[in-house]
Amino acid sequence: MFGKKGEAAVLAKLADAPAPYAEIGAQLHRIIRENAPSLEPLLRWGIPFYARGGEDICYIKAGTEFIAFGFGETVNPAFQEGAHMHPLVWNITSLDAEAEETIAALVRKAAS
């Protein structure tokens, strides 16, 4: 897969998102970097991904009415044994302290 590696490329892409999603994207980036510093930020298909050893762990994708935050197909920290549905992507329209902590916990679990 081709991609542009590095924090600068990811931050530049997130900054291109429409308001207020550029700010939310920067907050999500901060949460990911603080809670999983070993993940490598990179752009694939124009989308910021965070990977480890070539495996996509999570990503951020800006839309016009929300910003999507999700996990790679092989990593799902929100999986619940016995559940019939397993969340993999969240559409975020704003962040509060509770949402930030939930995302931080999911990122830590996915990166462990």
Model pLDDT, residue 94: 94
Mean pLDDT of 3-24: 91
What value does the mean pLDDT of the chain take? 91
What pLDDT band is residue 3 in, cutting at 50, 70 and 90? low
Helix (H) or strand (E) holding 103: helix 97-111
Q: Decide: pTM greater than 0.85.
A: yes
Residue labelled with tokens 């990911």? 32
Domains and CATH numbers, the chain: 4-111 (3.90.1150.200)
Tokens 């902590």, located at residue: 101
69 pLDDT tier (thresholds 50, 70, 90): very high
73-96, pLDDT tens digit by residue?
778 887 778 878 778 899 999 999
Of 52, 47, 49, nearest to 16 by C-alpha is: 47
Work out the percent of the chain whose per-residue pLDDT is above 70. 97
